């Protein structure tokens, strides 16, 4: 309680007394809001205990100085109203910086582009699985040529994007999904290469006589078809697609 008989501090003296606690609160907000920004992007991260302690002690210091230097609640609230925009500005800036630090806008765009290519790969492969069992003639595989070319292009783009994204910071869940996707790429490319070779075999003897076609199918096409089945079995054994789906659940990310 301030003794009313004592001379009241001047406005300049109050301002000088508030400078250090205001700077301390600003610094505490800066660290705390940056941590909070990172947590909102990546829930596996945690707000550092030190940043919470710094903010708590600096706020306590500010409140103490306000109580000692200002006699009325009205004066204290007026001072806080003047200071608050500074705190809000620091918090907003730090929060945005924390989000950007953990998952930059550039990285988000790269990931979104990669997701687009991955969706197209999945769509084409689902079409493959539906059409493949109903093929009755070797020449039927030629109908897959446009899709094989598209798959090759999409997987090449995914490889480039994985390399580009690898140079940036990403949230844990996304990082693990990208790691599994990178692991799946070699098998994906082997299968695309295999089907492309099957198409090449069929095209090479398309205008040949029946004996030549039969020999080519027996010696070159059938081994490639067996290899296709082996690669598909290997992909199913790795179960990478399901692992990708399971990453957010395992990390508790919604």
Question: Cα dist. 249→174, 180, 254 in Å?
Answer: 12, 15, 7
Q: Is pLDDT of 254 > 50?
A: no
pLDDT at 30: 87
Mean pLDDT (the chain, rounded): 84
Distance (Å, rounded) from C-alpha 138 to C-alpha 151? 21
- Comparing 7-11, 179-183, 184-188, 198-202, the range with the smallest average pLDDT is 7-11
Over residues 85-101, mean pLDDT: 85
Q: What is the DSSP code (8-state) at residue 218?
A: I
Q: Which of 168-172, 189-193, 245-249 has the highest mean pLDDT?
A: 189-193
Judge whether residue 207 has pLDDT over 80.
yes
Predicted pLDDT of residue 156: 93
pLDDT at residue 247 in the model: 57
Give the pLDDT band (50/70/90) at residue 9: low
Lowest mean pLDDT among 35-44, 64-73, 171-180: 35-44
**Band of residue 221 on the pLDDT scale cut at 50, 70, 90:** very high
**Span 97-153, pLDDT tens digits:** 887 777 788 888 888 888 888 888 888 888 888 888 888 888 999 999 999 999 999
Given a cut of 90, whether residue 170 has pLDDT beyond it is no
Structural domain spans, the chain? 11-102, 105-251
- 192, 148 Cβ separation under 8 angstroms: yes
pTM of the prediction? Answer: 0.66
Highest mean pLDDT among 106-120, 208-222, 233-247: 208-222
Nearest to residue 14, comparing CAs of 69, 55, 74?
Answer: 69
Distance, in Å, from the CA atom of 205 to the CA atom of 34, rounded to the nearest integer, reads 65
Mean pLDDT of all residues in 18-35:
87
């Amino acid at each position: 309680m301030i003794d009313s008989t004592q001379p009241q501090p001047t406005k300049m003296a109050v301002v000088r007394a508030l400078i250090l606690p205001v700077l301390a609160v600003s610094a505490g907000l800066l660290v705390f809001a940056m941590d909070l920004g990172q947590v909102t992007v990546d829930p596996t991260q945690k707000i550092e205990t030190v940043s919470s302690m710094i903010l708590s002690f600096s706020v306590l210091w500010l409140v103490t100085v306000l109580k000692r230097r200002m006699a009325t609640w009205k004066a204290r609230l007026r001072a806080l109203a003047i200071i608050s925009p500074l705190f809000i500005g620091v918090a907003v800036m730090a929060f945005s910086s924390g989000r950007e630090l953990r998952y930059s806008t550039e990285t988000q765009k790269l990931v979104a582009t990669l997701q687009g290519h991955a969706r197209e790969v999945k769509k084409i492969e689902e079409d493959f699985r539906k059409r493949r069992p109903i093929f009755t003639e070797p020449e039927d595989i030629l109908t897959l040529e446009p899709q094989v070319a598209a798959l090759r292009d999409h997987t090449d783009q995914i490889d480039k994007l994985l390399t580009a994204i690898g140079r940036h910071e990403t949230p844990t869940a996304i990082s693990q999904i990208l790691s599994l996707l990178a692991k799946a790429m070699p098998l994906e490319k082997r299968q695309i290469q295999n089907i492309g070779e099957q198409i090449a075999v069929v095209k090479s003897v398309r205008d040949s006589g029946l004996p030549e076609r039969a020999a080519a199918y027996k010696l070159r096409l059938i081994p490639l078809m067996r290899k296709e089945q082996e690669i598909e079995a290997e992909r199913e054994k790795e179960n990478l697609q399901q692992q990708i789906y399971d990453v957010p659940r395992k990390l508790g990310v919604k």
